[in-house]
Structure 1
Amino acid sequence: MQPTTAVRRTPIIEPRVAIKGPLALSRALVLDKICIQCHTSQCAPNSTFCGADCIQTSKHNSPKLMELPPVHYMFRQISDLFAAGWVSSNTRPLPKRIFLITSTEENDRTYKIYKEGVEIKRNLMVQGIEPGNPRRLWYGTIRECGIGDPGRGSLCSSITCPMCNHIRCVFDPSGRYGRLLSRKFHHHPGIRVSSASSKSHLYSRSLIRSRWNALLLDSVVVGNPYHVPEEEFESSIPPSGFDSIIRSDSTAEQEFIVYHDDAVRPLYLVLYQDPASSST
């Protein structure tokens, strides 16, 4: 029998898919635009998803939270928006965790119908305003369950948790937590939002022990806002021809109150350190 000779096989190297851009593209830069659903493809412009399939998949079990990696470009965009809106003299805190909020198809549908209805009534496009005049505005409320904290990535089942109910688009400004906030802040029943994260921070509170505060970034159809001075803001309602009210005395801390559930859809949950705290 002839002795056998071991044959060394050259490993097959699969050709790499060329990535457009600099040859020395870092892994961090790749993750900067990764789709947060499939984690394999680059997301589309101004989106956190790569396409329609991943958007549809993300709707499963909605509403829910999907955490953004700190290196993701959308994390930086929301952080920058949070920073730009912090106009208080207090030390500006840094966002620690940011979650995308997926909406149900039904909530998307009713929001779209409301926005289109406002546009039909107000014809805002002729004024160079986006149809319905949607704004990205901050909303602070009571966080009963600690959603967003480590190990608390899911919405709670409590019917009295203002934060989780807001994420579900179940608004009850005249109910239990509406009355609680009204007693504390004396504002007229309605959904109160602001362009200033530092202003909405005043309405944010956790009922459980947490090292972080939480704010929601909402898409809000303000339509044609009715301007009122500060002393009338908390007791006014929009007259005929208007869709919301706005404080006319402040441009740095614009505040709105809207009165229709379908005018508001939550987009992101932002957790940040309390500016009054020195702990990390």
Structure 2
Amino acid sequence: MDALFRAISDFFTNKPIVTAAKSLDTNEDSDVVEQPSVAESARCVVCVVNVCTNVNSVTCSAMCRDRLCRVGPANGNMCNYCHRRPKRPGLSQCSAVCEESAKVACLLCKSQPKNRRAYLCGKSCKRVVENWSPYLVLEAPPGHVTFDMVEDKFKEAWKYSGTASRPPVRKVLKVIGTKTFFEPFNEYKKHIGNVVFCYHGTKKSCQLGSADQTQLCFTATCALCSILRTSFRTDLAGSYTAFGSGIYTSTASNKAYNYTGNGTGAIIVSTVALGNVRHVNAFNEVRSCPEGFDSVVFDRGVNGSLNETIVYNDNAIRPVYIILF
């Protein structure tokens, strides 16, 4: 009996423990996201050598942060938000958490949340902007709150009720100006007020917006990049204008689309300070900005579908977004 008891005891004592958990060594799908090692999570994603001094940063220095903003991380296969884990197949982020974070990410470094109504995350990216050209053109990818906002405004401003269908928005680029670029406009709008969004359609002859191309070209025939390099200028107004030498825009996005070469060009979304508006009822009713007024509006067409909004001061307008089709 003692021998039998010992045999039964040994059986239960040595029996392997079975749990409901799946082995991590199997090839079965798992929702578990592999975490990087401590050393990997602290290493700069640009130089991949130095350790990040700030626990919330993915770069080790101002130089690497600048390169991250200009070129991107060393490994393009990593999540485009955290830069620490591989992207999911067919997606740009590693997880649902990073996917949600990317919707409100800084448009420059793409690795930190942007500041509320701003488009950058803080002083570090702001310094990068100040060191670049007068203003930057950055993509707001589909799904980002900026893309959604611009797309919604474009749809709301499409007043045409004819047979022409509204084209889908393919890309949205954000113009992020320096203080020097926007300061004259900000001072001007303080004095006259009445600021609105307006649309200006134009053609382009470069690859701006194609793939990851966000560099302005210097081709003389590219109207889009010429406008973006100098902003709008009244001295470049054509001689055959209905209301004199001014900057012509529209509150109707469909009207602006008519000037994009059937969508091969672009629409420049601008913030415009109208101030005191002179409303007119016919072409050539005025040939310059009337005394005591700051702008002219011809609200023609059904529901303003062919609206003409004209300002006569270069500081009354600044481009803020580019819509590509």
TM-score, normalised relative to structure 2: 0.63
- 2:270 aligned partner, one-letter code: D
Residues 1-280 of structure 1 mapped to structure 2, 5 A cutoff:
26-59=97-130, 60-88=132-160, 89=162, 90-116=164-190, 118-119=191-192, 132-150=193-211, 152-159=213-220, 161-175=222-236, 178-179=237-238, 183=240, 188-205=244-261, 212-232=264-284, 235-249=286-300, 251-253=303-305, 254-272=307-325
Q: What is the Cα-based RMSD across aligned positions, in Å?
A: 3.0
Contact 1:236/1:245 (8 A) holds in 2: no
Change (3 A) 1:56 1:246: farther
Structure holding more strand per residue: 1
Provide the secondary structure at the position in 2 that maps to 1:216. strand
User: Quick one: distance in 2 between partners of 1:146 and 1:204?
Assistant: 15
Change (3 A) 1:170 1:266: closer
User: Quick one: distance in 1 between partners of 2:100 and 2:167?
Assistant: 25
Change (3 A) 1:149 1:40: closer
Which residues of structure 2 form unaligned runs of 5+?
1-34, 42-54, 57-94
Q: Deviations over 1:47-85 (max 9, x none)?
A: 322234323423322323111111211101001111111
Change (3 A) 1:228 1:166: same
Measure how far apart 1:240 and its partner are: 1.6
Measure how far apart 1:140 and its partner are: 1.3
Measure how far apart 1:226 and its partner are: 0.7
Measure how far apart 1:228 and its partner are: 0.6
Measure how far apart 1:31 and its partner are: 1.1
Provide the secondary structure at the position in 1 that maps to 2:187. helix
Contact 2:204/2:224 (8 A) holds in 1: yes
Provide the secondary structure at the position in 2 that maps to 1:230. coil
User: Quick one: distance in 1 between partners of 2:295 and 2:242?
Assistant: 18
Provide the secondary structure at the position in 1 that maps to 2:304. coil
User: Quick one: distance in 2 between partners of 1:149 and 1:187?
Assistant: 35
Measure how far apart 1:94 and its partner are: 1.0
Q: Deviations over 1:89-114 (max 9, x none)?
A: 21111110111112233221211222
User: Does 134-143 or 72-81 show the bigger shift?
Assistant: 134-143
Structure number with bigger Rg = 2
Contact 1:68/1:98 (8 A) holds in 2: yes
Count of aligned pairs: 233
- 2:312 aligned partner, one-letter code: Y
Contact 1:230/1:248 (8 A) holds in 2: no
- 1:45 aligned partner, one-letter code: R
- 1:96 aligned partner, one-letter code: R
User: Does 142-151 or 239-248 show the bigger shift?
Assistant: 142-151
Between the aligned residues of both structures, percent identity stands at 26
User: Quick one: distance in 2 between partners of 1:82 and 1:76?
Assistant: 10
User: Does 46-55 or 221-230 show the bigger shift?
Assistant: 46-55
TM-score, normalised relative to structure 1: 0.72
- 2:296 aligned partner, one-letter code: I
Higher relative contact order (CA 8 A, sep 6+): 1
Q: Deviations over 1:127-164 (max 9, x none)?
A: xxxxx111111111232334323364211123553321
